[in-house]
Amino acid sequence: MTRISVLLTTTLLATTTIAQSNREPPSTGLHSLFLSAGKLYFGTATETNNFADPTYQNILSNPLEFGQLTPENSQKWGLIQPQPGDFSFNASDQVASLANSYNHLLRCHTLTWHSQLPPFVSSTSWTPDTLRQLITTHITSVISHFGSACYAWDVVNEALNENGTFRNSVFFNVLGEEYIAHSFEVAREVAPPETKLYYNDFNLETAPEKQTAAVELVKSLQSKGVKIDGVGLQAHFTVGQTPSVESLIATLQRFADLGVDVAWTELDVAQEDVETASELAVEQQASDYVVAVRACLEVERCVGVTVWQFTDRYSWVPGTFPGKGGACLWTEDYQRKPAYWAVKRFLEGWVARMNVTRAFVGGNETTVRTVASPRGPLTEVTSGSERLEGSLVKVAFISFGVWLVLNMM
Ligand SMILES: *[C@@H]1O[C@H](CO)[C@@H](O)[C@H](O)[C@H]1NC(C)=O
Ligand SMILES: *[C@@H]1O[C@H](CO)[C@@H](O)[C@H](O)[C@H]1NC(C)=O
Ligand SMILES: *[C@@H]1O[C@H](CO)[C@@H](O)[C@H](O)[C@H]1NC(C)=O
Ligand SMILES: *[C@@H]1O[C@H](CO)[C@@H](O)[C@H](O)[C@H]1NC(C)=O
């Protein structure tokens, strides 16, 4: 073969690869690209009422798309301990066992939370001692039941108001802010040592006083010697009102600087009015999703992204905020939306740039990061510059080939 036909063949191969990436089944997906980017997972919330839907399960089980599940409801107090001492693990066990069979990580959600409580918790007249004991029993029973199945636990959920004060709840009203440290201490004592213990909340991205209060909360726990491993930022956004990428990076980094992991734990981007959402709003949604995903990639301590359901068919948004909706990456009938493709294209570009950049920066490929995971290291560490020089040569060949073809047309 002549030199030119070698280049043309290279170009054709490259073109074929790009064309194939838009056809089913794809060779990469959101989760596989997250792993390539050095993150731990791209995941989704799910629940047992989605389990009999085969189309849903096909996507959920696809290891390219998802590597982590969060039970949307079944581990919440009202469902898991509806009566004093009466623990009901059936539904949450099914989610845990599905995660295990798909080899997805399980983020467990949630232990001490003011909402979706059973009547006996909200209506009993507790003393500080009896309420502390109730929290101890609940957390001990639930964490021990799941053991090492949980990669992480959202130990305390939504303890703060938008103005940065502590939210009134049965827990705060009886125990004051001490209930938070108590919950983490009990959790730490009973959880396997590798389980990550998180504080989780919403609007930390958009409400400055709430964000500052959460930072102070983490510092206060740390100063008392209470171990906290992560802060989960829910990231429920609205199209066109998603903060800028600079702002989201600064938010994640502010928590990361406290020495904890961070994650988007419930990401979705809702259309304000789903009936009238224009094509422009669909494009805006795509760019909002990319901004959120990019912020996680830019912050080293951001371990992963969980979407709060991947299809509009099962999204919580329309039921909770009438009129809003269309918040997920897949439509109700399981078509991938522009937001899905935008995130995927962004990740592909990121991963490709990441490898090439390394070659220029270090000269040697010594900067590949490994991520510790309960299932073993997720990215290989390689040394020496040979492989990277190889990819650089390839990139140069492809670019030159494209240039050549364009000039011959
Ligand atoms: C518990 O879950 C199983 C499926 O894992 C189901 O067959 C059974 O009926 C459930 N039991 C109750 C009491 O809900
Ligand atoms: C903060 O917000 C909460 C909940 O909305 C409210 O009850 C409380 O009065 C506010 N406190 C201050 C100091 O504004
Ligand atoms: C970039 O590097 C990662 C980790 O070594 C690898 O999984 C991925 O396939 C590489 N991507 C490209 C486009 O070469
Ligand atoms: C790259 O590797 C070579 C040989 O292993 C070594 O001598 C050199 O110092 C390295 N360069 C950098 C920038 O790490």
Residue 376: CB atoms within 10 Å: 7
Q: For the chain, what is the domain count?
A: 1
Q: How far apart are CA 121 and CA 119, in angstroms?
A: 5
Helix axes 208-223, 245-256, angle to 10 degrees: 20
Q: Which atom of ligand 3 is nearest to the CA of 35?
A: 7
Residue 364 CB less than 6 A away from ligand 4: yes
Q: Report the separation in Å between the CA atom of 388 and the middle of ligand 3, taken as the mean of its atom positions.
A: 10
Q: How far apart are CA 296 and CA 354, in angstroms?
A: 15
Has residue 17 been placed in a domain?
A: no
Q: Which atom of ligand 1 is nearest to the CA of 94?
A: 5
Has residue 133 been placed in a domain?
A: yes
Residue 97 CB less than 6 A away from ligand 1: no
Has residue 404 been placed in a domain?
A: no
Question: Three-state DSSP class for 302?
Answer: strand
* Nearest listed ligand to the Cα of residue 161: 2
Whose Cα sits closest to atom 6 in ligand 1?
90
Q: Report the separation in Å between the CA atom of 87 and the middle of ligand 1, taken as the mean of its atom positions.
A: 14
From first to last of its 409 residues, the chain has per-residue pLDDT tens of 334 443 333 333 343 333 334 445 568 999 999 999 999 999 999 999 999 999 999 999 999 999 999 999 999 999 999 999 999 999 999 999 999 999 999 999 999 999 999 999 999 999 999 999 999 999 999 999 999 999 999 999 999 999 999 999 999 999 999 999 999 999 999 999 999 999 999 999 999 999 999 999 999 999 999 999 999 999 999 999 999 999 999 999 999 999 999 999 999 999 999 999 999 999 999 999 999 999 999 999 999 999 999 999 999 999 999 999 999 999 999 999 999 999 999 999 999 887 654 444 445 554 444 333 333 333 433 444 434 344 444 444 444 444 444 454 4
* Ordered DSSP codes for 160-210: B-TTSSBPP-HHHHHHTTHHHHHHHHHHHHHS-TT-EEEEEESSTTT-HHH
Q: Report the separation in Å between the CA atom of 138 and the middle of ligand 1, taken as the mean of its atom positions.
A: 22
Q: Report the separation in Å between the CA atom of 164 and the middle of ligand 2, taken as the mean of its atom positions.
A: 8
Q: Report the separation in Å between the CA atom of 356 and the middle of ligand 3, taken as the mean of its atom positions.
A: 9
Report the phi/psi class of residue 384: left, alpha or beta, with left for phi > 0 and alpha for psi in -120 to 50. left
Question: Three-state DSSP class for 32?
Answer: helix
Residue closest to 307 by CA, chosen among 322, 296, 320: 296
Has residue 42 been placed in a domain?
A: yes
Question: Three-state DSSP class for 336?
Answer: strand
DSSP state at residue 127: -
Find the domain containing 125 and state its range.
Answer: 34-348
Question: Which of 17, 31, 32, 36 most suits a substitution to test ligand 3, by most atoms within 8 Å of the C-beta?
Answer: 36
Whose Cα sits closest to atom 10 in ligand 1?
90
Question: Which of 79, 90, 92, 97 most suits a substitution to test ligand 1, by most atoms within 8 Å of the C-beta?
Answer: 90
Contact 73, 95 (CB under 8 A): no
Has residue 22 been placed in a domain?
A: no
CATH number at residue 283: 3.20.20.80
- Active-site residues, by number, are 158, 266
User: How much is the pTM?
Assistant: 0.81
Has residue 354 been placed in a domain?
A: no
